Amino acid sequence: MLSDQCFIKQSLNINLFFLRIMKEHAFFLETSILEKNADLQQEARNFQEIFSDLLVRTINLACGVVDLRPDALTEHTLDAEKMSERLTGVPIDTSITRLEMELSCCRDDNQFNQSLVEDIFELNCNAIEATKAICAFKSNALKAVLECKLYTTAYPLLIDHIRREAKLFMSLLVELQKREDIDIIEDALNQEPFWNRIMAEHSKFLRGLLDPTEDNLIETANDFANEFDELRREALAASDRACMLQNVTEDSLEATKRLRNFKDQATEGLLACEISSIALPLLADHILREANHYLILLHKYDANL
């Protein structure tokens, strides 16, 4: 049974990471849909507002309880938001990011009391409900694209990709609400194939969004895609041979460190307008934070397996 302190901290860290991811998914969907489907654009905008509100609630609850982790924000996030808003004309509430940047400075003697536990439980319930709704929106959008009833500038794989992330977020919150301890081996066996697939697809998206003249970057992204496809296969095989898990974890850790650095350089390059691409800077920062999240998981697995 998770203690109140563990329940609160794990819930806050998961929400600080995933709620921003969900609100950015809504932003990416809105910017990928044409004016012809203004109703869908507005629905995506509504989701961005819903997840923004939930994120603000999380930040306020987290003040004095948890420190800011690199999967919640990076040094590029605010600039990436400003530039992406300017390029698309779609508004982003950057005050949320500014508020969150002060999180680690808001230290106090906040107690892990029953009132906070209840607030966190309610937050998790609201996040599950909102994520279930956006997951349905993503499913409907993907179905319409595949049936040639909707045109977007987003790859169908990208829509499926962000839907899978939403489903993971929901499942993690549902498990947290049960207050059960997590088996580290089982968690690693479930999460490593998932995140290795995500890292492979990030590399494929980058490869496809780069201008054809960016030969070196395209080659690097393609190499990462192939490497993480192989790591996913190895992680899936480890479910039958648990003795393989440690090696897969170590290999995934080293590969993710390198991919994380590549994403960091790509984000800097896009912000400086030094890379020819149709990728928004916020997308690059978004996948950088997801690499940071995976590294947090891998370091935990590597230390405990």
For the chain, domain boundaries: 1-181, 182-305
pLDDT at 241 exceeding the cut of 80: no
Question: Cα 105 from chain centroid?
Answer: 24
Average pLDDT over residues 239-258: 87
Residue 47 phi/psi, 5-degree rounding, is -65, -40
CATH fold of 1-181, please?
Ferritin (1.20.1260)
CATH code reported for the domain at 182-305:
1.20.1260.120
Average pLDDT over residues 281-286: 98
Query: Which residue, chain included where needed, has tokens 């004016």?
Result: 35
| 8 A C-beta contact, residue 260 and residue 291 | yes
pLDDT confidence of residue 154: 97
Query: Which residue, chain included where needed, has tokens 């987003």?
Result: 154
Percent of the chain with pLDDT over 70: 96
Beta-carbon contacts of 303 under 8 Å, excluding residues fewer than 6 positions away, are none
pLDDT confidence of residue 96: 98
> How far is the C-alpha of 5 from the C-alpha of 8, rounded, in Å?
5
pTM: 0.96
- Rounded to the nearest integer, the mean pLDDT of the chain is 95
Rg of the chain's alpha carbons, rounded to an integer?
A: 19
Quickly state the pLDDT bin for 305 (edges 50, 70, 90): confident
pLDDT at 288 exceeding the cut of 70: yes
Average pLDDT over residues 4-28: 97
Return the closest-CA partner of residue 195 out of 84, 61, 123, 296: 296
| 8 A C-beta contact, residue 199 and residue 256 | yes
pLDDT confidence of residue 108: 56
pLDDT confidence of residue 304: 87
- What's the chain's length in residues? 305
Return the closest-CA partner of residue 66 out of 4, 12, 147, 125: 12
What DSSP assignment string belongs to the chain? Answer: ---HHHHHHHHHHHHHHHHHHHHHHHHHHHHHB-GGGHHHHHHHHHHHHHHHHHHHHHHHHHTTTSPPPTTT--TTHHHHHHHHHHHH-----HHHHHHHHTGGG--------HHHHHHHHHHHHHHHHHHHHHHHHHHHHHHHHHTTS--BSS-HHHHHHHHHHHHHHHHHHHHHHTTPPPPHHHHHHHHHHHHHHHHHHHHHHHHHHB-TT-HHHHHHHHHHHHHHHHHHHHHHHTTT-GGGHHHHHHHHHHHHHHHHHHHHHHHHHHHTT-S-BS--HHHHHHHHHHHHHHHHHHHHHHHH-
Return the closest-CA partner of residue 193 out of 157, 160, 168, 223: 168
Strand partners, 141: none
> How far is the C-alpha of 287 from the C-alpha of 267, rounded, in Å?
9
> Which of 92-106, 201-215, 226-240, 243-257 is most confident?
201-215
pLDDT confidence of residue 14: 98
> How far is the C-alpha of 117 from the C-alpha of 176, rounded, in Å?
12
Judge if 1-181 and 182-305 fold alike in CATH terms: yes
Reported as a single tens digit per residue, the pLDDT across 168-184 is 999 999 999 999 888 89
Reported as a single tens digit per residue, the pLDDT across 69-124 is 999 999 999 999 999 999 999 999 999 999 999 886 555 555 678 899 999 999 99
Reported as a single tens digit per residue, the pLDDT across 119-133 is 999 999 999 999 999
Reported as a single tens digit per residue, the pLDDT across 185-200 is 899 999 999 999 999 9
